[in-house]
Structure 1
Amino acid sequence: MSGVQRAAVLLLSLGEVDAAEVLKHMDAKEVQKLGLAMATMGAVSREQVGTVMDDFASALDRQTSLGVGADDYIRAVLVSALGADKASSLIDRILLGRNTTGLDTLKWMDPRAIADLVRHEHPQIIAIVLSHLDADQAADALKLLPERTRADVLLRIATLDGIPPNALNELNEIMERQFAGNQNLKSSAVGGIKVAANILNFMDTGQDQSLLGAIRKVDEVLGQRIQDLMFVFDDLIELDDRELQAVLREVSGERLGIALRGADPKVRDKITRNMSQRAAEILLEDMDARGPVRLSDVEAAQKEILTLVRRLADEGTIALGGGTAEELV
């Protein structure tokens, strides 16, 4: 069982009231994953439930109360160590930055609803809104905006350097009751080149290059910096063997064969070198036997694998952009 499936078994065992109480403390993406796991859960044996419960009880026994109610302690320590002025911005980043409740409500909204909400707003406001979303959700919302608006919005996301109070106040007016009006809001660090690159990674093939081209017309250097941070399918060749094998373990042979149709031959060679000889032979035989494949199917398969790569990178299993993956023990 995966971690999500184990959590789903636990929640299903708790009953509606207690499960709902647990879900209140999770963010939108976690609730969506758990909800899907619970909805698709097949037959679970009594032994499996018992194992999940035993593991949970064992993990709970190892926990302490340290960290509970720690906000006031952190605030007092930082002020004492740095003084009120120096500690102020640091406290905001550590404590307030994680609790932007109003903005977090966007993550519960359908991308189409978000696009409809901001469609007629100034591109700078749209950029601020999309910067607060997860990259895949922001990309889905960006796709639904008018074509003439997309490049402008992405350019503004890439050049965002904090949100001034007046911009946040304007955003509060747009979101109305979803945001609390606070005239003393301080700048919040969102956006940037990496955010823009991540959003482009989730755009459909063709759309990403079109937007990148439009940005290059305005700022060639910025466009290149965004391109450098994007991870495309052919960049799989940059993964080391262990990382690539971690990716291949979670990809079906059928989807891999389709994705490799549009890949650089060097990528195909590296992938087959990291498979068993028999598995590589089967993959190549299936590709030859399948015949022509629609370009849209190839692009969809590559996007699926790239989504998997980004998930593994977020989990620390692999590293992108020359970083170092978290050591596994």
Structure 2
Amino acid sequence: MEKQIRLREDVTSLTGPERAAVILFALGKDRGAKLMEQLDEDEIRMVSRSMAQLGSITSSVCEHLLRDFTDYFVNSASVVGTYDSTERMLSQFLPEERVMEIMGDIRGAAGRSMWEKLSTVNEQILASYLQSEHPQTAAVILSKIRSAHAARVVAALPSEFRADVMRRMIEMDYVQKDVLKDIEETLHSEFMVNYARMLGNDSHMRIADILNQVDRARLPEIMGEIEQEVPDSADAIKALMFTFDDLLKLDGRSIQVIVQAVEIDTLILALKGLKDEAREIVFQNMSERARAIVKGELELMGAIRASDVDEAQSRVLRLAKELEARGEIILNQQGKSSPRRMIA
């Protein structure tokens, strides 16, 4: 026997989620869907459940609720903007990673979410921490951080643990808010506090990041001063820096992406400062036509200033960093056990 649909005639008997369900139905499929997109997952589940169990609503109840709904906005004459509402709005037309980046800039360092902060943690350190956690917890954490950074962390995990985590990420469904909150609190108390303390005691990484942005023409002079003042730290800083030599140690696909993105004149100048063996690594990742053009230009090119080569290589390095930020390549420095020569 078919279940009887109950008739709802008294507006006061409706709960908040039920009233929202009535309004969404009354707005129609297209408008209701757009409004529903602004809700978070918990709210969507709550309203959806009410929609399914709503029953039949009389026209007078619908009219009453819609009048209340419009009166609320007319009388309030204001809009409340929050970090959450801004983030939901941006999510309607921007990729998740771009939203995280913008919201991180707006909030500032102190206001960044735990997942934004984790996306800046050294991949080796984060991978080491995740190995001490349950694979399901590791799967949740990796699913929340930026995908480009998650890729680097996953690559640093042991194969057996990595396979288990990846399987759980594939099978993962909705994660409840209270579970995420517990994980965030644990990450803050057990990991981020110690990580911040470690960074505070080790300035080598910060100096390396600064020097990566320095004009390459000035780099030998600055490194010389560091070697003279703090020789023990100089080698550690060099090992942490990302140099043009490091680009040549990337996988073939990453080199191809960089070569395709860089301007041909810049690439030719950058290659002018390399030995034949190093150039060959780049040539192997170029199309036959592009390789012939670049080789021909290099043969015809006369003597050039070292500063022009430095500037060209700096532009390529900056482009590589931009490509990594967009998630198109991974500047993986795993396995750097000794300082590498910096091309100056």
If the length of structure 1 is used for normalisation, what is the TM-score? 0.42
Larger radius of gyration: 2
What TM-score, normalized to structure 2?
A: 0.40
